[in-house]
Structure 1
């Protein structure tokens, strides 16, 4: 049972952006509905010097909340004070604080809310605590993602000076690899059962494993990067492929926070999206690449050389490409469509075959299955 009727919220987040950018975005509250899902409508009623009155309409967990607040902007002190003056939230007040941080800007929000509703007060206090915290978490996460999106949008107007380096997304390749990695970190560890460890690893979010400093490219340039661990092993693709896809997307978003110029998907991280007909690049702002181009070139080159060794005339051959609608398969199809007598494409996803037919179907050598 709650001991009093006052809710206290304290949250903080390191946002990888300059302080002035964070403050500018936070004070443009009319834009909140575009990037904070819980905020349905907000508008400035009155603005005079460093004082504002704002009207909010928020919906959290299906619960609509409305109030009018008064904001005091003390930006020279890295501080914004707010308090409700009418609406559903009584005695609601708090502050936003901004401080420079080595990785960007540390944003801290504190808020208090008094609940005084007879009969249901005990329930309302704990319930509103969750709603209030969820709303501020949504604002912090929305601010962060919006700043990331704005940063990468500068690619289109040649202003991406703050984007540099690379991110590599990788993963462990089986449970033995997972166990070996854990023992390398702590040789004396007594590991739990495989079933328990597998489930725990499955719910663990992707994370940055280490930084890569001073990587020297072939032309002698030095560049920094980071390695992001996507917490899955290939066995998980059969059980929860969408969950694995989500882990890969979140790994890319971690790289985004560090302002890298490009992310490379390694191992099965580059395959999972292809299996479900999705594109990781459509879910993130950072440019994404993989080893599929190199794999395609090697596959094409390998087939041509093998045909020569077997004295096989490709122009008289019938070729089948399994997975012909995927990244690698479709690249091979485009290369061989005019080199073989008949090309058969097979794929689990019908829409990808339909797309290939639209692209290559004018050539009578193509058939689909």
Structure 2
């Protein structure tokens, strides 16, 4: 049985679309944005994307994964395909859409767990709500906080805390 976990997180950010896009795509900075992300290593750089490995602690549990990132700046989209780790097969999409009140940022996670018998149960009761939902909401909030601080003060949170 194939199990699909589908999660959507959304917010409106008060910042230029290109600044939001740049920060969302810059996975090397994510460990500075939220403590759950401990490290990031770029494995390959190519036009329009990267392959990277990331690790950290999601709700206290060790996590490590490898993903391929594709950037579509003209469409306001970033796509991550997880190729190694417990989230292998997960597709994560960032959609950025300008609106009169700011930029609507939608973060969508789709995971197909190809685990016999328990796949659906594991994705719906454990992987999705306990891990993916938690880190997705934290990531989106961290990007929002960082980019809106940059717009209002001209400095990142790491620059502000260094003062």
Hey, what does 2:106 align to over in structure 1?
Answer: 108
1:62 aligns with 2:60: yes
Length-normalised TM-score, structure 2: 0.83
The alignment partner of 1:132 has SS state of helix
The alignment partner of 2:138 has SS state of helix
State which of 97, 108, 111 in structure 1 corresponds to 2:95: 97
Instruction: Report the number of matched residues.
Output: 154
Superposed displacement of residue 44, structure 1:
1.8
Higher relative contact order (CA 8 A, sep 6+): 2
1:14, 1:104 within 8 Å by CA — same for their partners in 2? yes
Superposed displacement of residue 103, structure 1:
2.0
Q: Which runs of 5 or more structure 2 residues have no equivalent in the other structure?
A: none
Cα RMSD between the aligned structures? 2.2
How do 1:121-270 and structure 2 match up within 5 A?
121=119, 123-125=121-123, 126-130=125-129, 131-154=131-154
User: Which structure's CA Rg is the greater one?
Assistant: 1
Superposed displacement of residue 153, structure 1:
3.2
1:33 aligns with 2:36: no
Superposed displacement of residue 23, structure 1:
0.7
Question: Once the two structures are superposed, what CA deviation does each residue of 1:173-208 show, in whole Å capped at 9, x if it has no partner?
Answer: xxxxxxxxxxxxxxxxxxxxxxxxxxxxxxxxxxxx
1:53, 1:68 within 8 Å by CA — same for their partners in 2? yes
Question: Once the two structures are superposed, what CA deviation does each residue of 1:308-335 show, in whole Å capped at 9, x if it has no partner?
Answer: xxxxxxxxxxxxxxxxxxxxxxxxxxxx
The alignment partner of 1:91 has SS state of coil
1:69, 1:82 within 8 Å by CA — same for their partners in 2? yes
- The CA distance in 1 between the partners of 2:12 and 2:36, in whole Å, is 21
- The CA distance in 1 between the partners of 2:14 and 2:145, in whole Å, is 10
Length-normalised TM-score, structure 1: 0.39
- The CA distance in 1 between the partners of 2:41 and 2:103, in whole Å, is 26
The alignment partner of 1:37 has SS state of coil
Question: Once the two structures are superposed, what CA deviation does each residue of 1:252-283 show, in whole Å capped at 9, x if it has no partner?
Answer: xxxxxxxxxxxxxxxxxxxxxxxxxxxxxxxx
Superposed displacement of residue 117, structure 1:
4.1
